Structure 1
Amino acid sequence: MSITLPDEALTWLSVWQNVRALVLATDTHLTRRLSAAGHAVYALTDDARIHARLATVERVTPMLARPEAVPTDPLQFEVVFAHQALHRYDLDQALPQLARVLRAGGCVSASYLVRDDSVPWVRRLAALLRRYDPMAMKGDYGHQSLDVLGRSKYFPEVERRAFRIWQAVSRDDLVAMVRHQPLAANLDGGQLDTLIGQVVELFDGAVRPGENLRLPYQLLCWRAWVSHEELTGPVEIPDSGLAIPL
């Protein structure tokens, strides 16, 4: 299932209209959405296949590189977008680079889509799957990397918002979701059929005939505002530093 990010969230992450944006692209969806909204988009990816797809998107400039070494001059962008992406990079190296290419007053707009397991039917599904695999539905979304961004000296001020997204889930969607769980590969045919039967029973018991379930997500959004002080401040040599006589 693909989930479309709400316009309200993209507006909040974009900050302004018609921004000059750098996207850390893991696919083409966010880049297309931002381009369609009128932003001037540069898309950075280290995946040659995604780079080739981005090259076909109107008003987008693709770059084949990683954020640890952004191949542009300083102060080029007003917003850097990273959706479901920060955990993929070495942030000790990437965050100084992102600060370097951001203009004064700019920000990194980072977001993660995280499933909300507080809804009763989702809890029941998780309990069912964990009979077969204790780690089932304990997804690592990578959103802990937001904490690294929040501690960065290059981005000392952070704003946070969360948006609730409800995804319609049909019976076939739920069965497909379970079949794609890693645990399914470890079950024999009979065990998998039994599990699928239990999943279908759970679905039918949670909705009225002809209706779908709704799977809730939280879209965690951060705007981290850049500070160039660490990039432009004077270098102070400690007293214990090496002295070379002339």
Structure 2
Amino acid sequence: MSDPGSDAELHARQASSFGDQAGAYARHRPDYPLAALEWGMSGANRPVREVLDLAAGTGKLTAGLAGLGRSVTAVEPDADMLAELSRRLPDVPALLGKAEDIPLPDASVDAVFVGQALHWFDLAPAFAQIRRVLRPGGAVVALWNHDDESVPWVLEFARIIRTGISRYLAGTEQTLRADGFGPFEQERFAHQHRRSIDSLLATVSTHSHLLVASEPDRDRTLARAREYLESVPETGTGEFDYPLVTTVMRARRG
């Protein structure tokens, strides 16, 4: 594979790689367990009624929050992703904007949720903006869905789909600190995603490390992954529940 360039260049390419795949992202990415959303909201010491879904993508997290009866505003920097969100969730206010310049008034929400995106942010200015839009005692909540690599066949599948640039995504789960917030707490929740071989490969094809990989690398990786899945009893025929773990980190605004 050709040299992917510097860490900063690769990070920028990956962060901007999703828009062209907005429809596929919406169809194939997993949602988040409701218990994880409720745990995140319980980190606030005020009633959580108005919520910001920051870097909302196509609305996977937005839909879950709205389903819990919260008033949700979605903010997303990619116009194609935002259009897909509005098509799927027409009643949700949806604004074009980024974490480092959130287009909401001061002290306007009780919680800020970030699904599968905090690692793309410039953290210091993003947390300053998150603190600005949160009411006192509100919570910031970050979530990531991961393969459950405690399951042997999932561990091997995850190894196969890593490309030569996957190493640049290491460290998503970091020890977070942010000015104006209390300490971050972390919890994990078992989750699953109903898939077939075709739909699981479609899901991993929306991951940034494959979106920015060269076409030959991507094709070889997906071919090896298909061959492996066809050999595994749990996945060889029909649909199956793909095991996930959802990691949640929350902190309270002072």
Provide the aligned C-alpha RMSD in A: 3.7
1:72 aligns with 2:99: no
- Partner residue in 2 for 1:116: 148
- What is aligned with 2:248? 221
What pairs with 1:1-246 in structure 2 (closer than 5 Å)?
1-15=28-42, 19-24=49-54, 25-55=56-86, 57-125=89-157, 129=160, 135=164, 140=169, 143-144=172-173, 146-147=174-175, 150-173=176-199, 182=210, 185-186=215-216, 195=224, 198-199=227-228, 202-203=231-232, 206-207=233-234, 214-227=241-254
Structure 1 residues 44 and 107 mapped into 2: Cα distance closer, same or farther (>3 Å)?
A: same
Q: Deviations over 1:22-42 (max 9, x none)?
A: 111122222222223221112
- TM, length-normalised to structure 1: 0.70
Instruction: Determine if contact 2:229/2:235 at 8 Å carries over to the other structure.
Output: no
Scaled by the length of structure 2, what TM-score is found?
Answer: 0.68
**Displacement of 1:79 after TM fit?**
0.1
Unmatched runs of 5 consecutive residues or more in structure 1: 228-246
- Rounded Cα–Cα distance in structure 2 between residues aligned with 1:115 and 1:74: 37
- Note the C-alpha offset of 1:18: 5.6
Q: Distance in 1 between matches of 2:205 and 2:75?
A: 33
List per-residue Cα deviations over 1:33-91 (Å, max 9, x = no partner). Answer: 22232211121112222333444535422222212122333211110010011122211
CA distance in 1 between partners of 2:237 and 2:57 (Å) = 36
Q: Once the 2 structures are TM-superposed, how far is the Cα of residue 208 of structure 1 from its aligned partner?
A: 9.2
Percent identical across equivalent pairs? 28
1:105 positional shift: 0.6
Matched to 2:57, the amino acid is: T
Tell whether the 8 Å contact from 1:23 to 1:42 is kept in structure 2 after alignment: yes
Q: Say which one has the larger Rg.
A: 1
Matched residue count: 218
Secondary structure of the equivalent of 1:60?
coil
What letter corresponds to residue 77 of structure 1 in structure 2?
Answer: V
The verdict on how the C-alpha distance between 1:156 and 1:121 changes in structure 2, with shifts beyond 3 A counting, is same
